């Protein structure tokens, strides 16, 4: 059996058995024990093995990517295209979300007692997020992109700062004499290969890890809340589906000049990883491997675009933020006019750039968007009970958006460099 079939099986069985246990033994002590002491550690060890590789893979792949691109002019042009694509796809996603939530208005009919109950139940969690948000955003967010100490940035998993240092370091390698730069490049190349070997080992544990991660969620999930918030959940999921099937597919076709079906068939492994980990960062190694091996993206481009994307390009998150802010505005009877909704879209795009690629990474920042347009930020408590499920879905789109960006930037680079056209595995005659 192929590894990804096994992982998908782990995901399916974990969800099924977890959901079954929740249904029949929901409050039993033994179930909580099994979830805390067996499923949770198995899932977390797998997740940590992936996280363990993130710092070295971001550093080596960006430095090698930038050094491989070579001159600053090309780097600037590719960087401009990359950011342009990120902005465009995130903007399309947020707009789809806002259009849906305005049409369906899921917040208008939510009963007041449900609102009170959820506000009360998730108030502690909400207070924690509020504290994190207050610390994390402001003008210093931008200043801190330039790290005082790159080692500390890496140690804190401060991704924007680490990326900034890696970009500068890669650029610097192109400015020093070739005979000095080459040994450094060779060493980083070796480190990169070794990290990939570690990832392959970690991925062989994925079927069990994924089982554990999903079991913990479904065995303890409050399915009742899902029912109470069903309209809101449906709007987010339909929005994500529309953005995938129409938005990203069109972008892949127009900008990446690739058949969307080929694209979607090729990205199964990152889809499963993103869905089960809810983390763009934890999925980064798989995204890089898939872009290179399945979609024929040059390693220097995958190494440059995908780490940036995992941190800054979050299509699913911006769609989710737009829907959630408007949903909560409807719940609280706050009317947001066209101008304010435009502000929501802009802020959803900006905060999606600033959000960390970890489970729930966008929540503290979304509270700031709410506060800015006059929706009570503590209202986020209402949706926290279903957030994990939505996080799984939005992270999947975040990652697919990143991979589509790498396809576009690769194709454009090939054109500029006069290289032969890319041939994704699924378009090759022997596999077609």
Beta-carbon contacts of residue 354 (< 8 Å; ≥ 6 apart): 137, 141, 160, 365
- The whole-angstrom separation of Cα 252 and Cα 256 is 5
219 touching ligand ASP, by CB under 6 A: no
Q: Collect contacts of 75-84 with beta carbons under 8 A, ≥24 apart.
A: 75/171, 77/416, 78/301, 78/304, 78/409, 78/412, 78/413, 81/408, 81/409, 81/412, 82/304, 82/305, 82/308, 82/309, 82/405, 82/409
Rule CB under 6 A: choose which of 81, 243, 300, 394 binds ligand ASP: 394
Closest to 101 (Cα-Cα) out of 344, 377, 372: 344
355 touching ligand ASP, by CB under 6 A: yes
- The whole-angstrom separation of Cα 239 and Cα 233 is 10
Minimal distance, residue 152 CB to ligand ASP, in Å: 22
Minimal distance, residue 196 CB to ligand ASP, in Å: 21
Minimal distance, residue 211 CB to ligand ASP, in Å: 20
Dig out the tokens for 126 from the structure.
Answer: 């909400």
Minimal distance, residue 95 CB to ligand ASP, in Å: 18
Minimal distance, residue 278 CB to ligand ASP, in Å: 5
157 touching ligand ASP, by CB under 6 A: no
Rule CB under 6 A: choose which of 35, 279, 324, 406 binds ligand ASP: 279
- The whole-angstrom separation of Cα 305 and Cα 409 is 8
329 touching ligand ASP, by CB under 6 A: no
- The whole-angstrom separation of Cα 365 and Cα 138 is 10
Q: Which stretch binds ligand ASP (CB under 6 A): 28-36, 199-207, 237-245, 357-365?
A: 357-365
User: Footprint of ligand ASP on residues 299-328 (CB under 6 A)?
Assistant: 314, 317
Whichever of 298 and 362 has its CB closer to ligand ASP, that residue is: 362
Dig out the tokens for 254 from the structure.
Answer: 């127009």
Minimal distance, residue 134 CB to ligand ASP, in Å: 18
- The whole-angstrom separation of Cα 272 and Cα 286 is 10
**Helices 206-220 and 40-52, interaxial angle, to 10°?**
130
Minimal distance, residue 265 CB to ligand ASP, in Å: 22
DSSP conformation letters of 238-258:
HHHHHIIIIIIHHHHHHTS-S
53 touching ligand ASP, by CB under 6 A: no
- The whole-angstrom separation of Cα 85 and Cα 251 is 9
- The whole-angstrom separation of Cα 277 and Cα 395 is 9
Whichever of 90 and 166 has its CB closer to ligand ASP, that residue is: 90
Whichever of 63 and 216 has its CB closer to ligand ASP, that residue is: 216
278 touching ligand ASP, by CB under 6 A: yes
Dig out the tokens for 184 from the structure.
Answer: 């450094």
Rule CB under 6 A: choose which of 19, 68, 84, 360 binds ligand ASP: 360
362 touching ligand ASP, by CB under 6 A: yes
298 touching ligand ASP, by CB under 6 A: no
Q: Which stretch binds ligand ASP (CB under 6 A): 10-18, 274-282, 367-375, 377-385?
A: 274-282
Rule CB under 6 A: choose which of 292, 391, 402, 410 binds ligand ASP: 391
Whichever of 64 and 363 has its CB closer to ligand ASP, that residue is: 363
Rule CB under 6 A: choose which of 82, 249, 273, 280 binds ligand ASP: 280
Q: Which residue has the tokens 């710092």?
A: 55
- The whole-angstrom separation of Cα 298 and Cα 423 is 11
The footprint of ligand ASP on this chain (CB under 6 A) covers a number of residues equal to 16
Site residues (vs ligand ASP, CB under 6 A): 278-280, 314, 317, 355, 357-362, 391, 394-395, 398
């Amino acid at each position: 059996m192929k590894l990804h079939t096994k992982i998908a099986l782990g995901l399916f069985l974990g969800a099924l058995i977890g959901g079954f246990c929740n249904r029949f033994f929901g409050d039993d002590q033994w179930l909580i024990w099994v979830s805390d002491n067996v499923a949770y550690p198995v899932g977390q060890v797998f997740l940590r093995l992936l996280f363990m590789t993130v710092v070295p893979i971001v550093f080596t792949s960006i430095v090698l990517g930038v050094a491989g691109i070579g001159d600053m002019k090309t780097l600037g042009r590719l960087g401009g295209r990359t950011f342009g694509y990120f902005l465009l796809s995130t903007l399309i996603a947020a707009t789809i979300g806002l259009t849906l939530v305005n049409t369906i208005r899921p917040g208008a009919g939510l009963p007041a007692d449900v609102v009170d109950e959820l506000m009360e139940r998730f108030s502690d969690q909400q207070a924690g997020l509020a504290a994190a948000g207050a610390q994390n955003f402001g003008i210093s967010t931008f200043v801190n992109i330039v790290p005082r100490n790159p080692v500390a940035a890496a140690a804190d998993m401060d991704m924007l700062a680490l990326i900034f240092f890696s970009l500068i370091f890669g650029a610097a390698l192109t400015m020093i004499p070739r005979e000095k730069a080459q040994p450094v490049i060779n060493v980083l190349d070796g480190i990169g290969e070794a990290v990939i070997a570690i990832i392959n080992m970690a991925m062989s544990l994925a079927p069990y890890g994924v089982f554990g991660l999903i079991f913990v969620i479904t065995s303890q999930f409050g399915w009742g809340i899902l029912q109470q918030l069903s309209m809101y959940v449906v709007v987010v999921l339909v929005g994500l589906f529309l953005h995938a099937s129409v938005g990203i597919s069109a972008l892949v076709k127009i900008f990446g000049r690739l058949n969307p079906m080929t694209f979607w068939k090729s990205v199964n492994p990152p889809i499963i990883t993103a869905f089960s980990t809810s983390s763009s960062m934890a999925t980064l190694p798989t995204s890089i491997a898939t872009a290179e091996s399945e979609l024929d993206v040059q390693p220097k481009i995958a190494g440059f675009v995908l780490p940036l994307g995992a941190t800054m390009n979050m299509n699913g998150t911006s769609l989710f933020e737009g829907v959630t802010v408007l949903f909560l505005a409807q719940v609280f009877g706050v009317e947001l006019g066209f101008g304010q909704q435009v502000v929501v879209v802009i802020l959803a795009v900006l905060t999606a750039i600033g959000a960390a690629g970890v489970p729930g990474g966008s929540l503290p920042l979304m509270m700031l968007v709410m506060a800015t347009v006059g929706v009570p930020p503590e209202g986020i408590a209402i949706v926290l009970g279903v957030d994990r499920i939505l996080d799984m879905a939005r992270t999947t789109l975040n990652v697919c958006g990143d991979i589509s960006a790498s396809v576009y930037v690769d194709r454009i680079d090939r054109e500029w460099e006069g290289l032969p056209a890319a041939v994704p595995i699924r378009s090759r005659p022997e596999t077609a």
